[in-house]
Amino acid sequence: MKYRRAEDSPLFTKLKGEEHMIIAQIIANGILMGFIYALVSVGLTLIWGVMDIINFAHGEFLMISMYTAFWMFSLFAMDPLIALPICTILIFVIGVLTYLGIIRRVINAPGLTALLATFGLSMFLKNLAQFLWTPNFRYINNSMVSGKTIELGSIVIGVSQVVAAVASIILTVAVMLFIDRTRTGKAIQATALNKNTALLMGINTKKIYAITFGLSGACVGAAGALMATFFPIYPASGALYSVLAFVSVAMGGFGNIKGALFGGLIIGLAEALGGYMLGTQFKYAIVFLIYLIVIQVRPKGLFGW
Amino acid sequence: MLKVKNLKVGYGNVPVIFDFSFQVKQGDIVAIVGSNGAGKSTLLKTISGILKPTGGEIQFMGERIDTIPAYKIVEKGISHVPEGRQVFGKMSIKDNLLLGAFTIKSEEQKTKLLKDVYEIFPILEERQDQKAETLSGGEQQMLAIARGLMSNPKLLMIDELSLGLAPFLVDKVMDTLKIIRNKVTILLVEQKVQEVLEIADWGYVVQNGRLAIEGTGEELLQSDIVKKAYLGL
Ligand SMILES: Nc1ncnc2c1ncn2[C@@H]1O[C@H](COP(=O)(O)OP(=O)(O)OP(=O)(O)O)[C@@H](O)[C@H]1O
Ligand SMILES: [Mg+2]
């Protein structure tokens, strides 16, 4: 289909007049989602940065956290926001156990072993969830933030999204400060930069690896509880977000926390704007298109070195 | 202080050190010299626990250390300044130094150690907030040595001390070693055979993973092996 003048295209008409309010609305939604993606991505990039491993089970950690929030809610009527610390700690522990039980044994193995191990874990957890909890979609409908909205001028945003975004920002900044300022954080940096030399400083690098896996789990555990307030919960509910997190990690530069933060934001925005302009079925096409463009221009990502 | 007995080390299935024995006495400066690929760095990595021996044993202050993990060996009082500096380039100079003191619990002692190394290498204090990768090669070597001192070691092992350092700086660092030697025992691995044997109390010459000859620095400088193979006389 051809339009004689650019102004005749639906894209252009959509941008005209009061439609710019809709754009503002969509940007707001995109940014809110972006911060949540950022928190998921920070967890993923941490492991890569420190251990050069891609954790394919990252999305399943998210899914387990969402189910944890769901069961806390349906069994004990505990609000997801109150269950958040429980989810965070639980997935921290699962992260540490994953390192101790699986990763530690394969980290020095050649080739794709570590990758296949996390891939296997991902499959296992997905199937386990299906077996235990059926493939049905579950929702947390009446948490304390569900269904409420805030109006800013003509923009209407969900309280659950705002709470999730604000909590994600706080947690992302907390992780950054932890890595940047604390003694353990500096030991994590040293181990990431040069493992053998870190050992020579007296750093127990195995412990650092375990902590890193735990911290990564904590990020995604917190994100899961927050997302459970407005996303459906099912065995594959984490998979999509882990794919998006891979994209944002690659876009920001593998192992770079700031990169993961910006990567998450870009994806949130691209998804929202793409969905609006091209239709929901194409929203991820835009995300991957932007990713392809970024890695053409900067193969190591926006913040990669 | 350090006793290495019948040590055997290899990478994978390739043996590199064959039945090597040597020792370091408290308060001495001991040198290990040998040509490229002789196995000097491998020896130091085994002492600091980065590599595990396939045979023999290592004792430090009367205690076996070849069976404990590398990070605990630092706590025992051995500091290893690795070959090629290996500073944490993306981190500040001060952070590098503080990582050197990772095993030191007391903040007071850390501050004191920091002050001491800044006295020896004033340039590091001037640049303390700069990233380590912005230092020149020689400055990075100073940082690596200073970082090695930050764990307050009983035994300081330096691999290729002179690498990348201007001759006057080599002299300066050697002078520094002479000053700190009353507190720290020093094990040096060097290619600059002449310089290092001049300040060493005792030296070992390694060839192909085996001990070729040992003796006082002077004796070795006079020996035919050293003269022919390393000094080109
Ligand atoms: N990581 C490794 N994997 C396999 N072989 C290695 C490794 N590192 C060293 N080697 C081999 O072990 C032998 C001894 O190496 P080493 O680094 O100890 O020598 P060196 O005496 O320190 O030499 P240089 O003076 O060049 O530093 C060499 O033949 C080297 O090829
Ligand atoms: Mg060497």
User: What is the three-state SS of A266-302?
Assistant: HHHHHHHHHHHHHCHHHHHHHHHHHHHHHHHHCCCCC
Tell me which residue range forms the domain holding B160: 2-85+151-229
Helix residue spans in A229-256 (DSSP H) = 239-252
In 3-state terms, what secondary structure has residue B8? strand
Among B86, B88, B129, B131, pick the best mutation site for testing chain A contact (most A Cβ within 10 A): B88
CB B183: neighbour CB atoms within 10 A?
Answer: 13
What ipTM goes with this model? 0.93
Where are chain A's structural domains? 36-238
Q: Which residues on adjacent β-strands are paired with residue B14? A: B11
CA dist., res. B226 & res. A76, Å (int): 80
Tens of pLDDT along A131-158? 999 999 999 988 888 888 998 888 899 9
> Is position B102 within any domain?
no
Count of domains for chain B: 1
Q: Can you give the CATH number for the domain in which B54 is found?
A: 3.40.50.300
Q: B212: exposed, middle or buried (C-beta count within 10 Å: 0-12, 13-18, 19+)?
A: middle
> Residues of A83-92 as b/e, b for ≥16 C-beta within 10 angstroms?
bbebbbebbb
Cα B8 to ligand 1 centre (Å):
14
Q: Residue B233: what pLDDT?
A: 67
Query: What is the whole-number distance in angstroms between the Cα of residue A25 and the centre of ligand 2?
Result: 62
Q: Is the CB of B42 under 6 A from ligand 1?
A: yes
Strand B202-207 with B29-34, pairing: parallel
Give the C-alpha separation, A103 to A56, whole Å: 12
Say if residues A263 and A249 touch (Cβ distance below 8 Å): yes
pLDDT in tens, B112-170: 999 999 998 999 999 999 999 999 988 999 999 999 999 999 999 999 988 878 888 78
Predicted confidence at residue A261, as pLDDT, reads 93
Mean pLDDT of chain A: 90
3 state SS of A234:
coil
pLDDT at residue A2 in the model: 44
The pLDDT tens digits of the residues spanning B213-222 come to 999 999 999 9
Q: Specify whether the CB–CB gap between B155 and B26 falls below 8 A.
A: no
β-strand pairing of B55-60 with B202-207: unpaired
Q: Is residue B41 part of a domain?
A: yes
Instruction: Determine the straight-line distance between the first and last CA of chain B, rounded to whole angstroms.
Output: 35
What percent of chain A has pLDDT above 90?
A: 70
Q: pLDDT at position A253, please?
A: 87
- Say if strands B55-60 and B63-64 run parallel, antiparallel, or are unpaired: antiparallel
Q: What are the structure tokens assigned to B158, written together?
A: 């330096």
pTM score, whole prediction: 0.90
- Which residue has a Cα nearest atom 22 of ligand 1? B41
Mean pLDDT in chain B? Answer: 93
To 5 degrees, how large is the angle CA A302–CA A303–CA A305?
115
Cβ neighbours of A204 in B, within 8 Å: 69, 71
Q: How many CB atoms lie within 10 A of CB A152?
A: 10
Neighbour count for residue A115 (Cβ, 10 Å): 14
| Residue B204 reports pLDDT greater than 90 | yes
CB contact (8 A) between residue B82 and residue A201: no
Q: What is the pLDDT of residues A2-58, one digit of tens each?
A: 444 544 555 555 555 567 788 889 999 999 999 999 999 999 999 999 999 999 999
In a domain, B10, yes or no: yes
Q: Is the CB of B209 under 6 A from ligand 1?
A: no
Strand ranges inside A66-174, DSSP E:
149-152, 155-158
